[in-house]
Structures are given as structure tokens and as C-alpha cells.
Chain A
């Protein structure tokens, strides 16, 4: 994958305070709008890179950010009990994995990952969460940087996992030929 370099960098993290979340899903709305193309042209919480696990009657409101894409389901499957209700470990998982629909584009099935709103001063979900359930934390750190995967790369990787790299290359070659003939 991408090369590694050591450099000083502002590390951005989003702090989640579940006690403050009121379950409004504004974060889902703006995240999906920001990632539409063209930007903001549409929105659809099912495409959001943050989602709210929301069970009002049990007072559970947990914002979860899309994390790594995994090509296989994990082996361990634990059960958690919160306030008398059992949850599958997957409920709170950040990964987009083959066993569930979360953090996948609803039509293509391609994985989604939070990119901290590349290019914006502030992550938009943080900006739109007026009740401060989400806050941005920045600190300067010397990090071994791993280049962030772009959306496209992420999607391609998942396709390669699914169909094999050779099939994909063949397909791409065919597609570009088709394109020229137009």
C-alpha cells in the first residue's frame, strides 16, 4: 500500500459524548450531503459515514464513525448486555464488512469510510451537532503517516477482494476500449 513518512502533523479526532446526543441524526444528513457528487447535490443518511445507533426506549444513542474496511468477517463474536438488552458485537463496530450492510453505499455495496471531511476546516458532522455530542480535538503529533486511502481506492480494493485483481484489470481494459469507441 502507500509509503510511510515521519512528520509533524495535526491529528484530528472526534470526541463522542453519548450523554449529550439527542438522536437527531443531523450528522448523518450533512455527512451524506457533503459526500454527494456534486457536493451537497443530494443527501441520504444511508450513505453517511457516521450513524446513530438509536434506541430511544432503552436510552441508547451512540454515534459510530465508519472505520476500516475488512474483507472478511471477524472470528470472535461476543455478546454485550447493556441495560438488560443483548447486543451483537457488530452493532457497535466501525468496520464495513461482508456480514452486514452498515457503512456501505446502498446501491453499489462499496464500503464507506469517514475521511474527516477532507478539505473542510471542521468535520461537518461536528459543525452540525449543535448540542456538542461531537467535538473536534486537535493535537500536534509526530506521526508515522500512512497515507489516507481515497474513496475510490477503498472501493477498488473491496472490488479486487471480491473479484480478484486480474478480473478487475481485464474489465478496466475492456471498459476503456469501449469508452474510446464511443
Chain B
């Protein structure tokens, strides 16, 4: 019997309309865990670098994490992987909610879509019955609307539905897949789904998920619940509100938006509005939030309530998750009321809440600068807010200039030319990032931004504080119950970290320390994405209930795979490298490992190169950021090395200019 996982994938060939239930190899689970790990393996094996995002050969994988559907609190992520139209690299976006556990209960770990359907279809998975059904009546429908309609026509109120909106159908490069209170937004996964002509996947399951060592597993779960309670009662002092507790940023709970509105950039990452937050605004925004938020809601098997149901007069009810609360508001220099209204429409269209507002602000900036002309915007409304609604429609319907903007700021700027590229200044690997502009380069963040292949900083940062605490005694206090560190040295790194003087940024933490810190944080995120664990209870917050010391036990007791800290770190390193390898094979190099153009005012080019060198060295990669032969072989990725040599990406006798002894701990 397989434990925690079901041991079966669904392989759906949309071109031929063929569905197969395929048993998977448990050895792959031991090597790559589940979720992201085995997704990366499938993409490496089956999607060559010549495959373009919108070709039938591109795969779209919906994967439940290894521990989804078990009683592990907060373990509910669906990890979607494909080749992104925007970055042309591997996209791996996650969504919370209820879909992944339901898939497990139906008896599957993954749904692998290949080919392209001729007509718009949806998939209905009900335990052993799997059908491809006509979806022509759902064309153009909103994502939330679609989910409701499917549940009704199937007479299955408990079915979980992941759907795209019009944006996905029209292949907008930053289209999302929406599901209940969650969405997979980054990387344009919705566009690939639309390209395959799949409107939705509905799933309902009533089977068991088994555990290898039941008593042990439940004890671990109870410990996690107890720790969550402990952390609720003991918020972390000395950090901003959203960092004090657990969960993914509980933006729908928080009223005080001084920090975000005054530190993040408005428009298309253009203007920092110091002193924006005042009493009047605080009151207005509080009223808006209180007046529209019906209830705080959670994902499957989690008490944290990071999302909310939003009902506003004249606007259909929808569910919102964390930071989208502010993205549209700030892009349009408007207020929260506008932000929540337009987000409803954008959710139905199925759009990434990070990229979309920036693309719209970018278009209006180009108009102001005379790079785009009034002719490009026929019938442009007068009011600022209406302009954003207008642009949203143009983009989603791919009308006129909207057709160009639908590709995101990077590709649109290239196409528009005439100086537009200077305005596309907030991308990493061609993808829009959080609108931040900071003063002094922070080495930890520099590295995380540069080498992150998840295309989203919040999905890399985490367990190490973002900044030093002003007083040494506070730092020492923080370290007292810091049980999550993989190694005691991290406590010393933090204790010695000062706001000013020798031990301050950018030269402290040192290159070596920075690499250690980044590797730890990155590793935790990668583990989460394989297990299907929400980062909000693990890799993202300070002092979370899940960490490197209890994770191996969860995997052993849950999945019955022998794991200790070392084997788990090795596995995470293995599929992290495999993600890198997929991207390297698609042409990514050192040149691409850099933060947005003007993210920091004060840059340190030499230090930045050293940081990259240091990180590559720690990983066993060469100067170009290519995993070297020795390192690959050591990780059991000899087949990657062979492929690289065959393609001339690595040479046979290349002695990597790196130290291959990768440093754990």
C-alpha cells in the first residue's frame, strides 16, 4: 500500500480525448518527494527545451503535495507546473483552498494534461469515473461563476473546481487558475490551460488516504496545533504587524496599512508616498474593509483565516486572498473601495493580482510619456478609476493595445519600443515583481530576488528576520526559543547583526552567511512545495510550527519513507537543482539572475557578483550558474549532466571552478 500519496496519476491527452490512470514509481517519491519535486522530474523527462508554452507538447501538471489530504494542518497546496508563456521557463505556482485534498480523496496525486482539445472542455473527476465534458456553454464565463455552474449541472455541491476566466481562454500571459478562495497566479499558468482549451477541472473524492505510522503522525499534528496556539498567544515583538503571527500575510484582517502604502511603490512601481497614511485615510479604509468583509475564511484543514469573503453593494460576492487587497488600489493611486471592486472583476477574469495592476499602470504611464498615443486608447474614459476598468477589459479581450499589454510589461515594452523598455523596470526573468524601491541593497534579499526561480519574493523569504532588531538584547531574546534554525550558527549571525556600523548591511551578513541564510530559507520553501504545505505555517513566517527538525518525522510517519534531516535536505536540493536544470536547458544563465532594474537606490556591483559567486559555489554550480557535472552526479542527477554535455551546455572535461563539497548545515 502507498501511504500519504495514492500512487496514481491521471494522464489526459486532450488531443485524442484519452484518459489513463497510471501507477507511479515509489522510488521517484523517495528521490523527489511529491508536488513540485516530481513535477520537475516529469517536465525534465518529457518537455524538451524546444517545446514552446503554447505547443501541444507542453504539459500542464496539477499536483497535490505529498502530504495533502493527510491530517497535517495547513497541508492543502496544489502545485501547478508548466512552461510559462511569460518567462519561457518552468512555472510553478501554488494554490491553497480545497482542490488538492479532494484530488487525493478521489484517488490521484497528479493530473497531467497534454495535447490540445479542439473544443472548450472541462474535466470531471469523480473517484474512478473521469470524463472530458463539453464546456462550450461556459465560454467567456467568470472563474467563480464557472465553478458554481459546474457544481450545479453535476449536482455535486461538494465538488472542488479549479477554473480559468476569460483571461485564460484568451491566453493573457498573466492569467491565473482560480479555485474557491485561492488561485495559482504566477507564470501565466491560466494561459496554458486556456491554450489547451480546458476551462476547468472539477473533482470529488470519497476514498481514504492512508498513513504509515498513524499514532506517531497524529502526535506530530497535535504538536503543530499546540504550537500554533502558542504562537497566537505570543506574537513576535519588534517586527511589523503582519510578521508577528502565522499564516500567509493576513491582509484581510489588518487595518493598519501604513507600512505597505508608504513603503511599496504606487503606479507601475514609480512613486513612494512617504507620509501617505493619516487618520482620515485610516478611517475611510477601515470603514471600507469592515463594510465589505463578510467573514475571514481558511483553506482546507487550517485555522489561520488568511482570506475573506467580500460582498459590496452592486458587486457579486467573491473571495479575496492577502495582498491583492492593495495592488489595484496602489497601481491606480486610488482607494481601497476601488481596489476591492476591481479585484472582483479581475478574479472572475482570472488574472494575477501582482502583474495585472502594474501592466495597466504601465500603459497609462506610456500614454502620459507620449510613447503610446491617444489613438491607442479609443474611447478612454475620463476618470482615473474608469480607465483601469477600461484597460482591464481591453487586456482580457485582447482588443487593440490590450493585445500587446496582455503579454506583460517586458514583452509589451519590446513590441511598443520607442523608449517603452525603460518603463518595464520591475521585472525579474521577464516577470513583474512586487513594486518595491528601497534605499540600500540588502544582501539576503539581493540573492533571494536574483536566484529565485519561483518569480515571487514572498515565496523565497521567510524564517530569518528581514532586518536586524535595534538592540542586542532583543536579538538575544529572539534567539532563546528559536528552535527552527537548522544550525546554531544562524543565531550568532542574527545576534551580531547591527543596524549601523561594521556589522550592518550591505557587508553584513557576509557573503558566506548570506548564502547560508538564503539556502536555508529556499530549502524550506522547496520542501513545502513538494509536501503541499502552505508557506504560511512553514517557510514564510518567523518561528513557524513546521521546520527542518519535524518535517522528516512527518514524512516518515506519513508516507513511510525513511527520512532524516540530511536525506530531506538532499532531496530538496535535488529537485531544486532539477528546476534549475530545466531552466538552464531552456537558456537561462547568470545574466538572468538579477533583481529588478531599480529595486535599490544604492547598489554594490562588486559585492553583488561575489554574492552570486558564493551562492553558485555553495550549490556546486559553475560561474554561469550551470550545475556542474560532479555536483549533479553526487545528487543522483547524472542524467542531467549527460544531457548537458550532449547539448554542449557543459563540456566533458570541464572541471568546475567550484568546490563540489556542498555545505549542509
Chain A residues packing against B (C-beta within 8 Å): 22-26, 29-30, 33, 36, 38-47, 55-59, 61, 106, 127-131
Which of B33-41, B189-197, B201-209, B366-374 is near enough to bind chain A? B201-209
| In the assembled complex, B15 has its CB within 8 A of some CB on chain A | no
In the bound complex, residues from chain B placing their C-beta under 8 Å from that of A43 are: 69-71, 208-209, 211
Whether A44 contacts B180 by the Cβ 8 Å rule is no
Whether A44 contacts B225 by the Cβ 8 Å rule is no
Closest to B144 in A: A57
Interface residues on B, range: 35 or more
Whether A33 contacts B294 by the Cβ 8 Å rule is no
In the bound complex, residues from chain A placing their C-beta under 8 Å from that of B319 are: 56-57
Which residue, of B218, B229, B294, has the highest number of chain A Cβ atoms within 10 A?
Answer: B218
Assembled-state Cα–Cα distance A129/B303 (Å): 7
Whether B302 contacts A24 by the Cβ 8 Å rule is yes
By Cβ-Cβ distance, the 8 closest A-B pairs, closest first, are: A40-B214, A46-B206, A130-B303, A42-B208, A24-B298, A106-B206, A22-B298, A44-B208
Whether A33 contacts B71 by the Cβ 8 Å rule is yes
Distance from A90 Cβ to chain B, minimum over Cβ atoms (Å): 12
Whether A56 contacts B303 by the Cβ 8 Å rule is no
Whether B228 contacts A29 by the Cβ 8 Å rule is no
Distance from B506 Cβ to chain A, minimum over Cβ atoms (Å): 41
Whether B297 contacts A25 by the Cβ 8 Å rule is no
22 sampled A-B residue pairs with Cβ under 8 A: A22-B303, A25-B301, A26-B302, A33-B214, A40-B218, A42-B209, A42-B211, A43-B69, A43-B209, A44-B105, A44-B206, A47-B208, A56-B297, A56-B309, A57-B319, A59-B309, A59-B317, A106-B206, A129-B303, A130-B303, A131-B303, A131-B305
Whether B148 contacts A44 by the Cβ 8 Å rule is no
| In the assembled complex, B299 has its CB within 8 A of some CB on chain A | yes
Whether A26 contacts B303 by the Cβ 8 Å rule is yes
Distance from B501 Cβ to chain A, minimum over Cβ atoms (Å): 43
In the bound complex, residues from chain A placing their C-beta under 8 Å from that of B301 are: 24-26, 29
| In the assembled complex, B270 has its CB within 8 A of some CB on chain A | no
Which residue, of B157, B209, B301, has the highest number of chain A Cβ atoms within 10 A?
Answer: B301
In the bound complex, residues from chain A placing their C-beta under 8 Å from that of B32 are: none
Whether B294 contacts A130 by the Cβ 8 Å rule is no
Chain B residues packing against A (C-beta within 8 Å): 69-71, 73, 98, 105, 144, 148, 157, 180-181, 205-211, 214-215, 217-218, 225, 228-229, 294-303, 305, 309, 311, 317-319
Whether A26 contacts B295 by the Cβ 8 Å rule is no
In the bound complex, residues from chain B placing their C-beta under 8 Å from that of A30 are: 71
Assembled-state Cα–Cα distance A26/B319 (Å): 20
Whether B211 contacts A56 by the Cβ 8 Å rule is no
Closest to A22 in B: B298
In the bound complex, residues from chain A placing their C-beta under 8 Å from that of B217 are: 40
Distance from B206 Cβ to chain A, minimum over Cβ atoms (Å): 4
Assembled-state Cα–Cα distance A171/B208 (Å): 29
In the bound complex, residues from chain B placing their C-beta under 8 Å from that of A58 are: 317
Distance from B642 Cβ to chain A, minimum over Cβ atoms (Å): 41
Assembled-state Cα–Cα distance A58/B205 (Å): 23
Whether A57 contacts B298 by the Cβ 8 Å rule is no
Distance from A19 Cβ to chain B, minimum over Cβ atoms (Å): 8
Closest to A101 in B: B206
Contact flag A44-B209 (CB < 8 Å), given A57-B148, A57-B317, A59-B309: yes
Assembled-state Cα–Cα distance A29/B221 (Å): 12
Q: Which of B148, B294, B300 is within 8 Å of A24, CB to CB?
A: B300
Closest to B151 in A: A55
Whether A39 contacts B302 by the Cβ 8 Å rule is no
Contact flag A59-B211 (CB < 8 Å), given A22-B305, A46-B206, A130-B229: no
Assembled-state Cα–Cα distance A119/B51 (Å): 58
